[in-house]
């Protein structure tokens, strides 16, 4: 049964390089061992460097190299359209072909989609060349040649959500969702599987198993409805109303949508039929949150959602008074009060249910999702951003990365150690847009 709860506010606290890694050879052997069948003997065992058919089904593409650890990178686009990929392991930056100066950009953790709002514009697709594929109790890490791989004729800002096989782009100007074959995209081919047409609205969609859950409206200004579709565009059952649809975030179980009256959790159908209709469940924001629980205004709806990749938890600002934290596994929604308005929040999805957030003064906060306690903070790293669009914040298994369009500095934060600044790196140029990829 879906649950909601509140966290009482607790006092706010004031404010090395990467940790040593295991031997690449050993980790690589363990990774490969986790995906292969028991060896029939030394005479018939394949060489360690030769991927088996099973391994190829878990993210491998021709020309890609499987590695022993995540090739975490920052893909960035400068104000002039210059594109670069900074390898966070080596500190080396690779310049790619430029794109048109972008007014918007989004990423799914491997690909970056960008465009201008001009009527004759287009959506350009950048492959940062690094990606991760979870597989049961272990993970595969891949690297390929980065570069521009395609374009779409649609224009205007879009949202993107992807799983291994499908990328869903929803365009605000038209309200249309374009569903792409992500395997083909990794080979440099732009293959459209289907389109989900709608009147104009702030559209959102996400793949859930082999299906896609997408928003649509009957007419401009109408309340969005979230409906499941097959990859060929066939409608799979009735939809769920989502008034005030503001965002969607991919999770390890499917996707979570933010609505004015709660969160909608879309989960893949149980069993082996990945093309079956996913479950779509709405969970209201906690009833008590409508009262003056934070001592000021009541919490508002989640204005955005974000999470560490391949995790079930999501987080987002709750108006001006706190953060919504939700688990797509338990379908529990929690309110975490804060002393200042939050501009952006990312759920870590670890054993402490941590959330990394930035408030309206530009202070980075690490919050324990179980207690609501602020366990670390860093002020004055980025100044006071006017809006969330002026903040680039991402989180992986041990670090958070923070930057803004005002500076080429990229701050690496150890969120498990009191928000300590582990490194400050230099991007090739101040990023109009920056995204962590490879996780």
Provide CB contacts within 8 A for 324, sequence distance 6+. Answer: 263, 285, 299, 302, 315, 316, 317, 318, 333, 334, 335, 336
- In total, the chain counts a number of residues equal to 439
Is beta strand 3-6 parallel, antiparallel or unpaired with respect to 332-337? parallel
Q: Which two tokens stand for residue 101?
A: 């100066």
3-state secondary structure 61-98: CCCCEEECCCCCEEEEEECCCCEEEEECCCCCEEEECC
More confident residue, 187 or 7: 187
pLDDT at 3 over 90: no
63: how many CB neighbours lie within 10 A of its CB?
10
pLDDT confidence band for 59 (50 / 70 / 90) = low
pLDDT at 293 over 70: no
Report the alpha-carbon distance of residue 109 to residue 29 in Å, rounded. 25
Q: Would you state the pLDDT for residue 339?
A: 96
Q: Of all residues in the chain, what percent carry a pLDDT higher than 90?
A: 74
Report the alpha-carbon distance of residue 355 to residue 315 in Å, rounded. 7
Q: Specify which residues 402 forms β-bridges with.
A: 393, 411
Q: List pLDDT tens digits, range 155-183.
A: 899 999 999 999 999 998 899 999 999 99
Backbone phi and psi for residue 395, each to the nearest 5 degrees, phi listed first:
-135, 140
Q: Would you state the pLDDT for residue 87?
A: 97
Q: Would you state the pLDDT for residue 63?
A: 80
Q: Would you state the pLDDT for residue 34?
A: 46
3-state DSSP call for residue 29? Answer: helix
User: Of the spans 27-36, 43-52, 344-353, which averages the highest pLDDT?
Assistant: 344-353
Residue 30's H or E segment, with its range, is: helix 24-33
Q: Would you state the pLDDT for residue 35?
A: 55
Q: Of all residues in the chain, what percent carry a pLDDT higher than 70?
A: 83
Report the alpha-carbon distance of residue 424 to residue 384 in Å, rounded. 19
Rg of the chain over Cα atoms, rounded to whole angstroms, equals 21
pLDDT at 208 over 60: yes
Give the residue from 1, 2, 85, 83 showing the smallest Cα distance to 285: 2
- Arithmetic mean of pLDDT, 397-413: 97
pLDDT at 363 over 80: yes
Report the alpha-carbon distance of residue 434 to residue 184 in Å, rounded. 24
More confident residue, 139 or 224: 224
pLDDT at 39 over 90: no
- Arithmetic mean of pLDDT, 124-147: 92
Q: List pLDDT tens digits, range 14-32.
A: 333 333 333 333 334 334 4
Provide CB contacts within 8 A for 37, sequence distance 6+. Answer: 52, 54
User: pTM of the entire structure?
Assistant: 0.86
Q: Which two tokens stand for residue 272?
A: 């082996």
More confident residue, 393 or 32: 393
Report the alpha-carbon distance of residue 407 to residue 258 in Å, rounded. 31
Q: Would you state the pLDDT for residue 336?
A: 97
Segments in 264-413 forming alpha helices (H): none
C-alpha torsion sign, points 399, 253, 203, 439: positive
Q: Would you state the pLDDT for residue 386?
A: 82
Report the alpha-carbon distance of residue 10 to residue 384 in Å, rounded. 24
Q: Which two tokens stand for residue 143?
A: 């690297």
Q: Count of H helices and E strands in the chain? A: 3, 35
Is beta strand 313-317 parallel, antiparallel or unpaired with respect to 322-327? antiparallel
Asked which of 51-60, 313-322, 342-351, 406-415 is least confident by mean pLDDT, the reply is 51-60
pLDDT at 78 over 50: yes
Q: Would you state the pLDDT for residue 417?
A: 98
Report the alpha-carbon distance of residue 252 to residue 262 in Å, rounded. 20
Q: Would you state the pLDDT for residue 287?
A: 76
Q: Would you state the pLDDT for residue 387?
A: 87
pLDDT confidence band for 95 (50 / 70 / 90) = very high
């Amino acid at each position: 049964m879906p649950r909601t709860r509140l966290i009482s506010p607790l006092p706010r606290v004031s404010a090395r390089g990467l940790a040593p890694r295991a031997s690449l050879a050993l980790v690589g052997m363990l990774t490969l061992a986790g995906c292969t069948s028991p060896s029939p003997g030394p005479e018939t065992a394949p060489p360690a460097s030769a991927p088996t058919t099973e391994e190829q089904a878990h993210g491998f593409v021709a020309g890609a190299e499987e590695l022993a650890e995540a090739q975490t990178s920052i893909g960035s686009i400068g104000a002039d359209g210059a594109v670069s990929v900074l390898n966070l392991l080596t500190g080396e930056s690779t310049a790619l072909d430029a794109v048109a100066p972008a007014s918007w950009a989004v990423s799914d953790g491997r690909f970056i989609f960008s465009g201008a709002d001009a009527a004759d514009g287009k959506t350009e697709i950048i492959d940062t060349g690094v990606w991760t594929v979870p597989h049961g109790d272990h993970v595969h890490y891949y690297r390929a040649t980065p570069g521009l791989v395609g374009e779409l004729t649609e224009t205007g800002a879009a949202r993107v959500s992807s799983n291994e096989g499908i990328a869903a782009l929803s365009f605000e100007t038209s309200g249309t969702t374009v569903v792409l074959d992500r395997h083909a995209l990794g080979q440099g081919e732009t293959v459209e599987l289907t389109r989900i047409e709608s009147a104009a609205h702030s559209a959102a969609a996400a793949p859930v198993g082999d299906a896609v859950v997408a928003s649509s409206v009957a007419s401009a200004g109408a309340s969005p409805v979230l409906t499941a579709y097959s990859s060929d565009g066939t409608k799979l059952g009735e939809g769920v109303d989502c008034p005030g649809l503001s965002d969607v975030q991919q999770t390890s179980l499917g996707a979570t949508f933010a609505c004015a009256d709660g969160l909608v959790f879309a989960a893949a159908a149980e069993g082996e039929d990945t093309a079956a209709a996913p479950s779509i469940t709405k969970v209201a924001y906690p009833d008590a949150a409508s009262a003056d629980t934070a001592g000021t205004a009541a919490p508002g709806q989640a204005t955005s959602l974000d999470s560490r990749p391949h995790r079930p938890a999501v987080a987002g600002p709750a108006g001006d008074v706190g953060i919504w934290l939700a688990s797509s596994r338990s379908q529990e929604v929690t309110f975490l009060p804060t002393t200042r308005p939050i501009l952006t929040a990312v759920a870590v999805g670890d054993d402490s249910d941590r959330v990394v957030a930035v408030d309206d003064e530009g202070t980075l906060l690490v919050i324990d999702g179980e207690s609501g306690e602020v366990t670390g903070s860093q002020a004055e790293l980025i100044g006071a951003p006017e809006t969330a669009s002026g903040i680039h914040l991402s989180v992986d298994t041990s670090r958070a990365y923070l930057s803004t369009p005002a500076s080429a500095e990229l701050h690496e934060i150890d969120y498990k150690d009191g928000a300590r600044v582990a490194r400050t790196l230099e991007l090739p140029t101040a990023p109009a847009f920056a995204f962590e990829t490879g996780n």
